[in-house]
Amino acid sequence: MMAWYQTLWDVSVGPFAEFAFMRRALVATLALAISAAPLGVFLTLRRMSLLGDALSHAVLPGVAVGFMLFGLSLPAMALGGVLAGLAVAAIAGVVSRATRLKEDASLAAIYLVALALGVTLISRQGSQLDLLRILFGSALGVDAAGLLLVAGVASVSVIALAALYRGLVLETFDPVFLAASAGRGWSRRGWIWQQSFLMLVVINLVAGFQTLGTLMAVGLMMLPAVSSRLWHDSLSAQLLNASAQAALAGVAGLLLSYHLDTPSGPTIIGCAGVLYGLSLLLSPGGWLPTVLKRPHRVG
């Protein structure tokens, strides 16, 4: 009995208790789970799921410019990523208003150009290892500065989301009522809520690139959010479920990455994918309960 308990401890708790880099990675991942996953829920409810993916790629040129000017300086790359993400979102909005293209089409075109530009810049200035680290991250390599960035972004995001919560909920579910109640100020207020929400998405993606990379950061935001919709109908339950799934995927991914010597970012997103698959199969809105509820024909 004691040997079994010791083995379980060594596998699940030992790495975090023994190594400081595992504890930093754990705190950073849990902070992202608390702040990023609820934003993913709102993205799915607003039918903007692909926006997160587009913005996660769009931050790369800014990260690349920060890397070219200051090397692997986290503040410089983070600031460049935020500015690039916001610039791409703004340009896509301008293009959609000035042409026949819808915003999603213009955003898709611009983020692909931004991704290609970012990869080219990093490849010319740095090594292949630098490129892989920026694209796929290294949760096990989070330092004190990276942890401070993630914790700060998570704190700001939770407070800002709480402040914007009522407006975002009304705009998501009943924009007509919100427009009527806001009167003439609706256009300005709606723009403020929209841009503030996009800002939160961008800074969470930028914070996530330190641990998950620019290509993987959106996974912890969107996969738990999509899964949570299969389990619950109420918004509050979806927000809590998404954060819980993201936290579970983060812990499991870090442990698997440590024991199997696999890249931490993709491993964490892979665990989130497993939870998504289980949700598709077992959740109230999934395949198995739907099949069991079907009426059986009597021969």
Q: pLDDT tens-digit profile of 173-186?
A: 766 665 666 555 54
What is the pTM assigned to this prediction? 0.85
Q: How far is CA 161 from CA 123, 200, 249, 254, 261, in A?
A: 37, 8, 23, 27, 36
pLDDT at 40 (0 to 100): 92
Q: Where does the pLDDT of residue 106 fall: very low under 50, low under 70, confident under 90, or very high at 90 and above?
A: confident
Q: Which of 28-32, 268-272, 274-278, 291-295 has the lowest mean pLDDT?
A: 291-295
Q: Is the pLDDT of residue 24 over 60?
A: yes
pLDDT at 174 (0 to 100): 66
Query: What would the pLDDT profile of 32-43 be if each residue is shown by its tens digit?
Result: 999 999 999 998
User: Any residues with CB less than 8 A from the CB of 47 and at least 6 apart, and which?
Assistant: none
Q: Where does the pLDDT of residue 202 fall: very low under 50, low under 70, confident under 90, or very high at 90 and above?
A: confident
pLDDT at 295 (0 to 100): 66
Q: Is the pLDDT of residue 291 over 90?
A: no
pLDDT at 94 (0 to 100): 78
Separation between Cα atoms, residue 189 and residue 174, nearest integer Å: 15
Q: Where does the pLDDT of residue 191 fall: very low under 50, low under 70, confident under 90, or very high at 90 and above?
A: low
Q: Where does the pLDDT of residue 144 fall: very low under 50, low under 70, confident under 90, or very high at 90 and above?
A: confident
Q: Is the pLDDT of residue 18 over 60?
A: yes
pLDDT at 181 (0 to 100): 60
Percent composition of the chain: helix, strand, coil (DSSP 3-state, to 5): 90, 0, 10
Q: Where does the pLDDT of residue 129 fall: very low under 50, low under 70, confident under 90, or very high at 90 and above?
A: low
Mean pLDDT over all residues of the chain?
Answer: 82
pLDDT at 55 (0 to 100): 82
Q: How far is CA 109 from CA 89, 94, 184, in A?
A: 12, 13, 34
Percent of the chain's residues with pLDDT above 70: 87
pLDDT at 178 (0 to 100): 58
